[in-house]
Amino acid sequence: MLDTLGPLYRSQSMFDEVRVFYDVSENTVEILAIVPKGAADEWLEEAGK
């Protein structure tokens, strides 16, 4: 589903309630999703298809 050129990175919120997924290319940081912590595994599973 997602066509990323580089690695997929995950950042933890300082409140540990959400996950922010982002992709980094040469000069760009693209926010892919901000999801509740409990939905992160499901989002990763879907995004990997």
Residue-level pLDDT, tens digit, the chain, 49 residues: 555 555 565 666 556 788 888 899 889 999 999 999 899 999 999 987 6
Token pair for 9: 């990175």
DSSP-based helix, strand, coil % in the chain, nearest 5 = 20, 40, 35
Q: Order of strands across the sheet with 8-12?
A: 8-12, 18-24, 29-36
- The reported pLDDT for the residue numbered 20 is 86
The C-alpha atoms of residue 34 and residue 46 are separated, in whole angstroms, by 14
- The reported pLDDT for the residue numbered 42 is 93
CA distances from 12 to 4, 44, 49 (A): 20, 14, 23
